[in-house]
Amino acid sequence: MIRYIIQRVLAALVTIWITTIAVTLLIHAVPGDPVRIMYAKFQSTPEQIEAVRIALGLDQPIYIQYGLYVSRLFQGDLGRSIVGDQPVLDILLTRFPPTLLLATTSLVIAVVIGLSLGFLAAYKRGTVIDVGAMVLAVLGVSIPHFWLGLLLLFFFALQLGWLPVAGSDLRSLILPALTLGLANAAVLARLTRSAMIDIFDQDFVRTARAKGLPKTMVLYRHALRAGLVPIVSMMGLQFAYMMGGAIVVENVFAWNGVGRLAIEAVFARDYPLIQGFILFFATVIVLVSLVIDLLYAVLDPRIRYS
């Protein structure tokens, strides 16, 4: 088990290290002169452009640039944004909590609805309930987030007047969380159904029932837990992507998270901010994947003891 954990942690560190290299190279992948593109709208003189180039270390050989970047990273310095001249880390830390809140709430919605619907469909396999649940799931997977968001906005905000259109308070969280949650629930429902159908057919479930265990214990303690491994894996992926910011949904509901920040940075060609975001997002994905890997070990004894 300890060996497994060490392996996963090392793999995570290597991934982050590779990301730092990619992020350093990113600025050189831009066609043309990145500094000039960044400063295109300003009345910059060639001297000012040169000063920025030096400040960003772009006048140095690439290995020196990488060294400088990493040494600054260890000091928690992700550079300063071009737009507004603010520390990138501060900007990311300001915009991350709303995204974390949105991702967590959406995940709760997705898990509650998705697992329930999938479990029910599997349990009532071949019935109208199963078909109905899966039609809903297919719809949920197919409807673009943008459209679902606008539909919910139209219904709950415009028609019923129950919820605000946009904002940053808890009431404003409901519609974007619902949009994301429903879309992700659909994916989870389909996955849960197929996983549970497999499990229901397995010998150990039949044995458990034959031993006379109460039905709920068979379902929750034996069947559900055994089917959770692929579901947890999918939940983790969904959560990680939402932590990187649900760009479309954040945009529709003016939710002030990192997804919108990333879009703003790209449009402004704010390379330090784009680099910071990529590194940040990669780190979040790596950390969430690590937690999932560790959860596998809890859920599946075969991993724990191998």
Q: What is the residue whose two structure tokens read 């990192």?
A: 258
Q: What is the gyration radius of the CA atoms in the chain, in angstroms?
A: 24
> Any contact of residue 103 with other proteins (CB under 8 A)?
no
Q: How far is the CB of 276 from other proteins (least distance, A)?
A: 14
> Any contact of residue 267 with other proteins (CB under 8 A)?
yes
Q: How far is the CB of 6 from other proteins (least distance, A)?
A: 38
- The region of 11-19, 42-50, 188-196, 295-303 touching other proteins under the rule CB under 8 A is 42-50
- The region of 21-29, 105-113, 235-243, 290-298 touching other proteins under the rule CB under 8 A is 105-113
Integer CA distances (angstroms), 284 to 31, 80, 88, 243, in order: 29, 21, 16, 7
Q: What number of other Cβ atoms are within 10 A of residue 174's Cβ?
A: 19
Taking alpha carbons only, the member of 99, 84, 54, 53 closest to residue 280 is 99
Residue count, binding to other proteins (CB under 8 A): 60
The contact mask relative to other proteins for 203-242 (x = CB under 8 A, - = no) is ------------xx--x-----------------------
Among 62, 134, 150, 291, binds other proteins (CB under 8 A): 150
Q: Which segments of 30-169 does DSSP mark as H helices, in order?
A: 34-38, 46-55, 62-74, 88-123, 128-142, 145-152
- The region of 5-13, 123-131, 189-197, 235-243 touching other proteins under the rule CB under 8 A is 123-131
> Any contact of residue 120 with other proteins (CB under 8 A)?
yes
CA distance 29 to 127: 55
Q: What is residue 136's three-state secondary structure?
A: helix
- Among residues 239 and 253, whose Cβ is nearest to other proteins? 253
Please say whether the beta carbons of 176 and 253 come within 8 A. Answer: yes
> Any contact of residue 75 with other proteins (CB under 8 A)?
no
> Any contact of residue 85 with other proteins (CB under 8 A)?
yes
Q: How far is the CB of 118 from other proteins (least distance, A)?
A: 11
The gap between the terminal CA atoms of the chain, to the nearest Å, is 8
Among 24, 184, 251, 289, binds other proteins (CB under 8 A): 251
> Any contact of residue 61 with other proteins (CB under 8 A)?
no
Distance of CA 154 to the CA centre of its chain: 26
Q: How far is the CB of 271 from other proteins (least distance, A)?
A: 12
Integer CA distances (angstroms), 90 to 25, 56, 76, 80, 86, in order: 23, 18, 10, 9, 7
Please say whether the beta carbons of 144 and 76 come within 8 A. Answer: no
Among 43, 75, 76, 210, binds other proteins (CB under 8 A): 43
Beta bridge partners of 80: 87
What lies within 8 Å, CB to CB, of 76 at 6+ separation is 89
Q: Which residues bind other proteins (CB under 8 A)?
A: 32, 36-38, 40-44, 48, 83-86, 91, 94-95, 109, 112-113, 116, 119-120, 123-124, 129, 150, 153-154, 156-158, 161-168, 171, 174, 178, 181, 200, 215-216, 219, 251-254, 256, 260-261, 263-264, 267-269
